Structure 1
Amino acid sequence: MPRTPVPITLAIESATPYLALGLLTPQGEFGLRREVGRTHAEQLPGALEALLAEAGLKPNQLEQLIVGTGPGSYTGVRVGASYALGLGRACGAPVLGVSTLESLIDTQQDGIQAVSLDARKEQLYGAVYVVGGGVVVDSLIPAAKYPHAEFAAQVGGHLWRQDAPPDAVALACAGLAHGLSDWQLQYL
C-alpha cells in the first residue's frame, strides 16, 4: 500500500524563551531551536529563511502551518501566531494549532509522560499524555494550570519533563496527527 505523501509542513513554537521551527517535507525533517529570551519577533524571519534554505524550499511551497498555541508568554505566543497566520495567508496554507505542551514530549519514548511549564507562584501548566509513535495519542490529565505539589502528586513515578526546550518537529507531527483549525491562544 503506498504511503500518503507528507504535506510540506512548517511548525512555529515561540511560547517559551526558545524559538523553535520544525519542517516536515517528503524529503525529511528539519529543525531549528535557539534560546532567544524575548527576541522572537526579531529572530523569527531570519531563522525561517535559514531553515527553508537548508531544506531547499521557498516560503510559497509551504502547504500547512502549525503554531504552538501556548501556554506561554503573552508576547511570544502572539508573535508565533501572528507570523504563522500572515505566512499562511500569503501561501494559501491552513494554520492549525497545537498546545505548546505537546512540543515538550520525548518523541523517542512511548508511554505515559508528564510535561509542564513553570507558571510562577508555585503553579505550573501541565498535562499527562500517552505518547505513541512520537505523538500524543491520549490525555490522562488535561492541559491546565495546577498547583505544583498537586500536579507532582498526580504524576507519580512517570517520566516528567519540566520546562524542557520545545521540539518544533514534534509539534509539526502533532499538527499532522490532530492539529485544530479552531484554536485559541493560552498565556502563562
Structure 2
Amino acid sequence: MPPVTSSPDITLALDTATPFLTLALAWPDGVRVWSAEVGRAHAERVAGAVADLFAEAGLPLRAGRVVIGTGPGSYTGVRVGASYALGLARVWGAEVLGVPTPEGLVRGPEGLQLSEPVAVSLDARRGNVYGAVYRLEAGVVAEVLHAPEKQTMEEFQIRAAGLPHFHDTVPDGEALLRAGLAHGQTDWALAYL
C-alpha cells in the first residue's frame, strides 16, 4: 500500500520521555499544544491524543514533519514516542526530526534577555539529574552551552549557578516543535535515564 500523501506545511511534535505526554501541532494558520500527565500510559494514550489534536485543529490526520523528543527518559517511554513517530512518518511519507527532551523544558521567563543562558534538568534518580545549559533566541535554543549530561544535582547546580533553572517542569510542546523546526536532526538517537 503506498504511503498517504503528507501535508508538507503541517508539523506534529511529540514527547513521551517524561511522565507527561506532550504534543504540539503547527500549520500555516496556527499552533495547538496539549500536555497531560499520563504516568506510564503513553502507549495507551498517544494515538487518541494525536487524533484529537488534529480533529480540534480541523486538519486531516497527516503531516509533512514529525518532531520527536529523544530523551533522556525511561526506556519504555522514550521508545513508545519514537516508535509511534516513525510509524506515522512511514505511513505519511514524512521526515522525522529529533530534539533532546530538555529543549522542550525551556521556558522564557519575563525579563529574561533573549541571549541569556538558561539551565534545565530532569530527575535521573539517586540525587542525579540530566542537566543542560542553553542560550535562547526568541524562545528557541540557539546554542548548546552544555549538552545534556548525567551528573549529581550538586555538580549541576554549580554549573547552573545564577542562571534561571527549570527542573522537572512540564514539557512545552511548542518549545519542542520550534526547536525541531529550527535545528532538529534527521540522524537522532534515543537517550535513556
Q: TM-score, normalised by structure 1?
A: 0.94
Alignment of 1:163-174 (within 5 A): 163-174=168-179
Q: Cα deviation per residue 1:116-139 (whole Å; 9 max; x = unaligned)?
A: 000011111010000111100011
Q: How many residues align?
A: 182
* Structure 2 unaligned regions, length at least 5: 1-7
Instruction: Tell me by how many angstroms 1:107 deviates.
Output: 4.0
Q: Cα deviation per residue 1:21-40 (whole Å; 9 max; x = unaligned)?
A: 00111011100000000000
Indicate which of 55, 58, 72 corresponds to 1:56. 58
- Note if contact 1:98-1:174 (Cα within 8 Å) is conserved in structure 2: yes
Instruction: Tell me by how many angstroms 1:152 deviates.
Output: 0.2
- Residue type of the alignment partner of 1:127: A
Please provide the CA RMSD for this pair: 1.1
- Closer/same/farther in 2, CA of residues 107 and 8 from structure 1, 3 Å limit: farther
- Secondary structure, in 3 states, of the residue corresponding to 2:12? strand
Partner of 2:86: 85
How far apart, in 2, do the equivalents of 1:142 and 1:98 lie? 12
- Secondary structure, in 3 states, of the residue corresponding to 2:176? helix
Matched, 1:44 2:40: no
Matched, 1:102 2:103: yes
Alignment of 1:176-187 (within 5 A): 176-187=181-192
Partner of 2:4: none
Matched, 1:128 2:133: yes
Indicate which of 118, 122, 126 corresponds to 1:117. 122
- Note if contact 1:59-1:91 (Cα within 8 Å) is conserved in structure 2: no
How far apart, in 2, do the equivalents of 1:57 and 1:163 lie? 32
How far apart, in 2, do the equivalents of 1:143 and 1:115 lie? 9
How far apart, in 1, do the equivalents of 2:185 and 2:89 lie? 15
How far apart, in 2, do the equivalents of 1:7 and 1:127 lie? 31
Percent of aligned positions that are identical: 51
- Secondary structure, in 3 states, of the residue corresponding to 2:187? coil
Matched, 1:154 2:159: yes
- Residue type of the alignment partner of 1:90: V
